[in-house]
Amino acid sequence: MKRKLLFVAPLLLAACGGSSLSLDINSDDAAENAPLSSVRAFNDSVDLTTVKSVKVTVSEIWVHVDGDDAKDDVDGTKVEDSAKGWQQVSSEEKSFDLMTVRNEATKPLGDLTVPEGKITQIRLKLKGTAPEGSDKYRIAGAVEEASGTVCDLIVPRSAINPGVKISGVYKAMEIEAGGKHHAIISLKLKDSEKLTDGGATCAYRLNPELKVKKFERKDESETGDDKK
């Protein structure tokens, strides 16, 4: 990915009066476009849905935008990191507790300036604290158990760079010129487990993925005509 070119895109979009996307996040384990059969824990092990808090920081937000003639149904795995159309739309760090955005609760990630077209992928870069081997990253002190014990969170290196992405097949988010749009994306917690390898530090492993829970034009939502 040619990042030095993409970094200037948000400023250019803002100068041209681009469209806006108000982006929220929650941590439901079964978002609207996720079949319940795909929601599972690893065996009968303790997972992150049992803890008191899971604190993470999003350091960057990227979107991939295709033209209006792009397909409505897209497969998140088909959008390559090297594909044209990636735009960085936020570099503001946002920290939040995933356990406070369960069920219908949400946390705003910002009002983003986005180009006209169809958003076919979103990536959230999480902020890590230290590499954990060749393919994982550690987020120190991210988890607090109900007992008060503080644990680290182990995530794939891809969650740090290039970022957690929308998975599965979903409807592309159509951004109209000058329009105001709203989306809720869900970061699943169920695909996780407490590590019991006898290490000195309490830790949980999470393979995070995003699902599109809701997408609508703001002016249409006010009249009851939602795009979901």
Q: Which residue has the tokens 């550690």?
A: 138
Q: Say how far apart CA 216 and CA 228 lie, in whole Å.
A: 6
Name residue 114's amino acid. Answer: V
Q: Could you give phi then psi for residue 227, rounded to 5 degrees?
A: -100, 110
Q: Which domain holds residue 101?
A: 3-221
Query: What's the pLDDT at 36?
Result: 33
Kind and range of the H or E element at 170? strand 169-171
The verdict on residue 228 lying in a domain is no
The tens digit of pLDDT for each residue in 197-227 reads 756 689 999 999 999 999 999 875 454 444 4
The region of weakest confidence among 10-19, 108-117, 146-155, 158-167 is 10-19
The verdict on residue 9 lying in a domain is yes
Looking at the 3D structure of the chain, how many domains does it have? 1
Share of the chain above pLDDT 70, in %: 79
Query: What's the pLDDT at 26?
Result: 94
pTM: 0.81
The tens digit of pLDDT for each residue in 83-99 reads 899 999 999 999 999 99
What is the SS3 assignment for 12?
A: helix
The tens digit of pLDDT for each residue in 99-110 reads 999 988 999 999
The verdict on residue 184 lying in a domain is yes
Cross-strand pairs, 180 = 20
The residue with greater pLDDT, 200 or 163, is 163
Q: How far is CA 87 from CA 48, 92, 135, 221, in A?
A: 32, 15, 25, 26
